[in-house]
Structure 1
Amino acid sequence: MSNEPVSDPNALQEAEKYDNPVASREFILGILAEHAGPMTLNRLISHLEYDGDEERIEGLSRRLRAMERDGQIIRNRRGGYVPVTHTELVRGRVLGHRDGFGFLIPDEGGDDVFLSPRVMRALLNGDRAIVQITGVDRRGRPEGNLVEVIERANAEIVGRLVLEAGIAFVVPDHARMTQDVLVPMTDLGGAKDGQIVRVALVEQPTLRHKPVGKVIEVLGDHMSPGMEIDIAINAHGIPYHWPPAVLEEIDGLNPEVADADKLGRVDLRHLPLVTIDGVDSKDFDDAVYCTKVAEGHRLIVAIADVSHYVRVGSPLDQEGFNRATSVYFPGRVVPMLPEILSNGLCSLNPAVDRLCLCADMLIGDDGLIKKYRFFEGVMRSAARLTYDFVAQVLVDKDPAARAERPDLLAPLETLYDLYRILRAAREQRGAIDFETVETRIVFGEGRKIEAIVPYERNDAHKIIEECMIAANVAAGRFLTDQKIPSLYRVHDRPALEKLTDLRAMLAEKGLSLGGGEQPTPKDFNALITAAQARPDFATIQTVVLRSLKQAVYSPDNLGHFGLAHPFYAHFTSPIRRYPDLLVHRAIRHILRTGSAENFPYSHEEMVIIGEHCSNNERRADEATRDATDWLKCEFMLDKVGEVFEGRVSSVLGFGLFVELKEFFVEGLLHITALTKDYYHFDPVTLTLKGERSGRVFALNDTLKVRVARVDLDERKIDFVLPDDEDDGESAEEEFLDEDTEAEESADSGDKKKRRRPRRRRKKSSDGANAVNSEAAGDHPSE
């Protein structure tokens, strides 16, 4: 007879799994939480009445060690166990800041915990740790002290090797890694001063010692063509080698779809489905076809059937999960799936049979989806069209373009009619719509940058965008109706404190945001419409955008606030996004079995997968931004000393970020370069105001600036005002030592006089200048 305490809610489950079960994790946590103080192993043994039962004592010891490892409990110096759910103990992931301090992002949600530079000496970005709340910092944030490192995130680091006075160290390229890695002279692996290297960490950092590493690969010289992408890939830990098991799995794949795989599918090969993508696209994962029917429009969105080839738990699946997303660098892609799938079998190339999963929708004249169904199909793309060509056909009515494919004119015109209806419905429901400028880098011979140009979006882009949004909405509704665990693309409502700050800024400008504590997307759109004719419209749009949350993947459907849709799931890009593949698997499971039973994923597993995919999406964005910033700095190297006209894109306590109108390149006009006056930062109006002159610098002001310095390593461009150069030190002379406190003062909106801090500020990739493009509307086709 078991002597397991009957109050253990999981006793039966434990008994089913183990011959000699011990108390469940939940029960142990409950005991520790109720006990007045830490409990030693002996006291727990007595409490659970395990005395003399060696098997159970050993089982309990193993369970406690596992709970320690997973950060559920900690053991103090006297051997007493304490639950981490205790209010003063928080576990989570470390987010480093380039100025030496950091934050702990709690696993359980809630406020981030500030970690001082002293605490961060023992930590690196991405580590998981337990901290004890010791109070609040000067800005009212909870502040923590390190209790224990649960998991180290960095086995390797990429950076530039420095040999100095007989000492070798590597300066990490990753902006969130602020600690140099010491390298013994015997472990240089032939690397030379200034080269970019990959080091394996032999010793992790402690409060007293820096990390120690060993050079395991020389990536190349500092300015080699393409080096910026190699650095970004390695610095952010993006996998780019295919494991042997994956290569073995794809070795037997045939480039043509097998006849047996086409059986039992809906045959769409008679329909003129077409792909519409950018001129440089190589993987085509969506095709569209539209026809007019009595009740409105019938839209078929056919998506590459990746789930047919990537089986659950296979090496391909494991590596796809590991990568989570394709990463698009300027001129190079690191794909989520091998090329034989991404550009071959799964790509909807023209004039070849391909397997697809289809969303078949009936859309009324009001733009709402009246009916929808999903089915497995086989298709043959009628054409690979580009956005520019479709715009010439539909918008410009170019005779030559229209004569090129007369057979496609009718379905394309019908598709354009549907787009106008969907666009009107978008405006009617109040989806938030921002007009932002994206850029692309044009390369010449030897990968030398020829130009940085704006990326033009025409109506053809918007046609595909609206079609993909419709398919994603149908997928979200289907998953909800079937009650099957999957991932939604969630864009939550703005936080109350962000709304408060936004309304304070708007009040200064004589504007207001309706909706009280829960404004709707319509309220935001009404604000944008009211501000559209104002000269400071760009400023208002920027501040509104920054008040919105970031979209994430979650099995809990909270709707998509920016798009004003209650149901939304990414369905349209399974070649390059792992969440889309999971959505396909969920839909296929329902189609084949008729119910959600025996689906190989649980809600809890989807929570973990969603967090992983959201994190990897951010990792990809940071890596791409790093490489792009490097290229822009390289482009500006020969322009030091020249004067250009720019626009103020961000106003912070430590200066202005200015975007050059000619090149769409951004740099910092540091507050110490404003030498003719002392300036105060106003966080409400986002302005810098001169104490004596009264001069105000605000968002979207036009300025003439001189390029003072370009730093490739830190991806920084520094500007000065040409008129101020004679009255003080230039920005190039002002590179001094770091002062975290000065930046914290600037970030907090402190209105003290801004004098010269001890080190130039670096632009934060997650600071006030970061914007979430998806907050303005999901762009699943891009």
Structure 2
Amino acid sequence: MKWVQEHPDKASKRDIGKAFGIKGSARIDLKRMLKELQSDGLIAGSRKQFRGTGELPPVSVLRISGADDMGDLWAEPAEWEGDERPKILFMAKAGDVALRAGDRILARLTPVVDQDHAYEARLIRRIGAGPDKVIGIYRHGSEGGRIVPVDKKNSKEWRVASADSKGASDGELVEAEQAGPKRMGLPSARIIEVLGDPMAPRSISLIAIHQHEIPDHFPDEVVLAAEAAEPVALGARMDLRHLPLFTIDPSDARDHDDAICAAPDEDPKNEGGHIVWVAIADVAHYVRPGSVLDKEARKRGNSSYFPDRVVPMLPDALSGDLCSLHAGVERACMAVRIVLNASGEKLSHEFHRGLMRSPASLSYEQAQAAHEGRYDGDTEPLKGPIADLFAAYASATKARNRRQPLNLDLPERKIVLSDEGQVLSVDYRTRFDAHKLVEEFMVTANVCAAETLEQKERAFLYRVHEEPSPEKLDALREVADAAGLQLAKGQVLRTAHLNKLLAAASESEDAELINMQVLRSMTQAYYAPQNFGHFGLNLRRYGHFTSPIRRYADLIVHRALVSAHGFGDDGLTREDEADLKETGEWISSTERRSMLAERDTTDRYLAAFLADRVGADFVGRVSGIAKFGLFVKLEETGADGIIPLSHLGREYWRYIERDGTLKGEESGRVIAVGMPCLVRLVDATAVTGGLTLEMIELDGKSMPKGSGRQVRHKGRRIVRAKDRKKGKRRRKG
């Protein structure tokens, strides 16, 4: 590289070979080496000439370094040998893919003068994400060390040079990134952050936060902007302070962004009808388009919730204070007034920008107890409003039953932690009518938002949930058939068909299995400016409106409503409307990122909880089958563990891809999804969340032992585990 920089006029492959005395077959190695340097962005090629990186060519490989406070995206050369890297402003154009820090791109560069940057770049194509990152345990060695990944899906270790260890001690949790190109052998990494003791209390969620690159620290300017916000005066807002708009949330809720109340409709034309109010925190007033708060909220996309912490979309000064509908204080809100008839059908609705004061913040348990006639100090003054709300819900339930949304019944796990962060227990959350009430009226409010914005021809983001694919439905039918149940075939699938299947399974031991399989057959919901309906809710149009504290999609809908009604100058801008497709794709990806991080954290907490019970037996059910083994869901905790084929008795198991089963070569025994089983916990690794199990009984019968003789399978002879233990060596037939 140094020679290329010093001899720019003699940098052909031939010149380089001559300068270094490379002859014969060694020229093949030179060609490979030059290709690697090019792919890593260390040199740039033009026909047969190569350039050093002291001067950037018109087309260069860049690395996106991130966005500044104004939202401008900056880049830098993928590799640079000089003293100061040139600043490069990335100029996005319509249709460009969304880029994030670390992405590598091929870009066309234009030099600029009299600016605070040296080049402007336009995208040719993205050529890969940024350097691979790994979260793992550092193991010190004589010449540096190694990193053992905490991701149970990735067992490849990384080599770390002493100079790149950043002072990490043996056994510490570290975050590292790829150092240099990937070649044969262990990949090289440089440690970028030492995270400390992996088994320390509250480190478990930190692993997932770093592993999935969830931003968990607010820049100073974002925090200052949030702390500078002030309460809202009534002004031109509708005064809703007389309404008993109370919140109903989990007892450990960290924010309160929705409040509801109801009353009988006094209109004689709507006998037996109800007026329902749903009020949502007016986040749009505080988080204005283009502001530092807005850019940070969009970058995060949503809040992420873990058993020990929440990574919020907005700083606490907003999410925990001014945008949270606390009892007894005045709060800005966006509210919708909904008129229902006696059968629960929506007759009309209208939106208002208001000011409210909640009389109480209730938990689901409190609301349910009050509904059943057991009042406390918070609910006693709200006897009438609580009764009115549940009466309105009774009517709404009639309409819901006619609509037939997907009626899944899956228990939600709750991990209970001590003050020190240790797992005390794993419980299942009790689901009350109070939960269903809140969900029903939030769904109704979301429908109102979508209908209004369609009617006013305003662009916004729909919540889209498309119907299941034929392949997933076929897999569901096979599981249903194995359980002695049926799913209609040869007709347009409706949620009513799935509900019929769920109802048929509800009283059987296969209820949870069928619910899980129906859930797995569903497509992933996402956000888009085009409407493709919501299959699961059986709704023609749907948009998220009710949680702008924790979802950027809802903030977009609030701004669209502000613009549509002329409620203020903080509505959705034309620039935001033009970027809705890209925004929808981005926040759909951040939502998936949070879901994976939350699931991984739950797995790790469950593994930590079960670590002291290695060797114990558990009742479970086969939840999945693959070529390498099967998965079992434990009944007690809902944890998922893996049983490798080597833990399935001493015989060869054939994977039958057609119906997703395993079949014993000698016994003929078939293992299918849904079978009850008794398993033994072999290993529980908290840092990865991995549980390894051994099958003891399947469907009430002990596992087959097998004869131990060889079995010829597709031209190969299989050597059994017990043969290997005896030291017997057999060659392939």
TM over 0.5: yes
Aligned to 1:159: 136
Aligned to 1:272: 244
> Structure 2 regions of 5+ residues with no counterpart?
1-45, 48-56, 65-94, 107-123, 708-712, 722-733
Distance 1:756 1:493, change over 3 A: farther
2:691 corresponds to 1:717: yes
CA contact (8 A) 1:431 1:563 kept: yes
Deviation at 1:663, TM superposition (A): 2.8
CA contact (8 A) 1:636 1:710 kept: yes
Deviation at 1:363, TM superposition (A): 1.6
- Provide the secondary structure at the position in 2 that maps to 1:233: helix
Aligned to 1:464: 438
Aligned to 2:189: 213
Within 5 Å, which residues of 2 pair with 1:548-587?
548-587=522-561
- Provide the secondary structure at the position in 1 that maps to 2:410: coil
Structure 1 stretches of 4+ with a deviation exceeding 6 A read 64-69, 124-130, 593-598, 723-726, 752-757
Task: Give the residue type in structure 2 aligned to 1:300.
Answer: W
Task: Give the residue type in structure 2 aligned to 1:249.
Answer: A
RMSD: 3.6
Distance 1:339 1:754, change over 3 A: farther
Distance 1:420 1:248, change over 3 A: same
Deviation at 1:604, TM superposition (A): 4.7
Say which of 618, 629, 646 aligns to 1:672: 646
Task: Give the residue type in structure 2 aligned to 1:467.
Answer: F
Aligned to 1:222: 198
Question: Is the deviation greater in 521-530 or in 694-703?
Answer: 694-703
Question: Is the deviation greater in 166-175 or in 698-707?
Answer: 166-175
Deviation at 1:489, TM superposition (A): 0.7
Deviations 1:215-251, CA, capped at 9 Å, x for gaps: 2321102311111122111111111111122123234
CA distance in 1, matches of 2:194, 2:221: 26
Aligned to 2:78: none
CA distance in 1, matches of 2:478, 2:668: 22
2:267 corresponds to 1:290: no
CA distance in 1, matches of 2:331, 2:198: 44
Distance 1:601 1:412, change over 3 A: farther
Distance 1:107 1:182, change over 3 A: farther
Say which of 561, 568, 591 aligns to 2:565: 591
2:200 corresponds to 1:239: no
Say which of 340, 343, 348 aligns to 1:371: 348
Within 5 Å, which residues of 2 pair with 1:247-396?
247-254=223-230, 257-259=231-233, 262-293=234-265, 294=267, 295=270, 296-394=273-371, 396=372
CA distance in 2, matches of 1:341, 1:199: 33
Deviation at 1:631, TM superposition (A): 1.4
CA contact (8 A) 1:182 1:211 kept: yes
2:457 corresponds to 1:483: yes
- Provide the secondary structure at the position in 1 that maps to 2:420: helix
Deviation at 1:186, TM superposition (A): 1.6
CA contact (8 A) 2:144 2:165 kept: no
Task: Give the residue type in structure 1 aligned to 2:198.
Answer: H
- Provide the secondary structure at the position in 2 that maps to 1:197: strand
Task: Give the residue type in structure 2 aligned to 1:281.
Answer: A
CA distance in 2, matches of 1:287, 1:342: 15
% identity of equivalent residues = 36
Say which of 193, 198, 207 aligns to 2:175: 198
Deviation at 1:342, TM superposition (A): 0.4
- Provide the secondary structure at the position in 2 that maps to 1:276: strand
Deviations 1:468-516, CA, capped at 9 Å, x for gaps: 0000111111122222221111001112332344345545666543373
> Structure 1 regions of 5+ residues with no counterpart?
1-40, 43-60, 70-105, 109-123, 131-146, 730-744, 758-782
Say which of 383, 386, 389 aligns to 1:415: 389
- Provide the secondary structure at the position in 2 that maps to 1:434: coil
Deviations 1:569-618, CA, capped at 9 Å, x for gaps: 11000000110011100001111179999833455511111111111111
CA distance in 2, matches of 1:154, 1:397: 60
Deviations 1:701-721, CA, capped at 9 Å, x for gaps: 332221111223432111113
- Provide the secondary structure at the position in 2 that maps to 1:447: coil
Deviation at 1:125, TM superposition (A): 14
Larger radius of gyration: 2
Alignment length, in residue pairs? Answer: 604
Task: Give the residue type in structure 2 aligned to 1:588.
Answer: V
CA distance in 2, matches of 1:336, 1:290: 30
Task: Give the residue type in structure 2 aligned to 1:163.
Answer: H
Aligned to 1:663: 637
2:607 corresponds to 1:633: yes
Aligned to 1:643: 617
Distance 1:291 1:545, change over 3 A: same
Deviations 1:181-224, CA, capped at 9 Å, x for gaps: 43221221211122111235443x43558654332321102311
Aligned to 2:493: 519
